[in-house]
Amino acid sequence: MQNLSREEQIGLSRAIIQMLASWGADAEDQIQVLALPEGTPLRAMRRYRDGMEPLPATEEVVERIEHVAGIADALRTTFPANPRARIHWMMTPNRKFANRPPIQVIVEGGLSGLIAVRSDLDCVFSWERLATPA
């Protein structure tokens, strides 16, 4: 995100906030999912969503943005002709996640939830993650 212009950062921020909202995450959930600083006011989320400023470029926020973008990309690959199916998949209980919707896994699990959902959708990400020594 640091290599992007301010306008690109703002565009990416808007897209990420809109994506999370389309999956059913409210502003409080978005703050939690993106690991925004403690005490981030809800009005800040409006500024990000409305393109007034970019999300903070901290290492943790950038990592989570990358996972949200990776999940969105994997959903586009899985459901290329049906955008509504992407949203439906994120909001429908899934037996792979103990009958919880993937968005709930993400909200409750934070980074580990993002990784779990992305790993389920994106086999290349999952393979690379397993092949990388800890």
Model pTM score:
0.90
Quick one: which of 5, 58, 51 has its CA closest to 34?
A: 58
Q: What residue ranges do the domains of the chain occupy?
A: 6-131
Print pLDDT tens along the chain (134 aa).
778 999 999 999 999 999 999 999 999 999 999 999 989 999 999 999 999 999 999 999 999 999 999 999 999 999 999 999 999 999 999 999 999 999 999 999 999 999 999 999 997 776 666 666 65
Residue 34 is predicted with a pLDDT of: 98
**Torsions phi, psi for 100 (to 5 deg):** -105, 145
Distance CA 49, CA 121 (A): 26
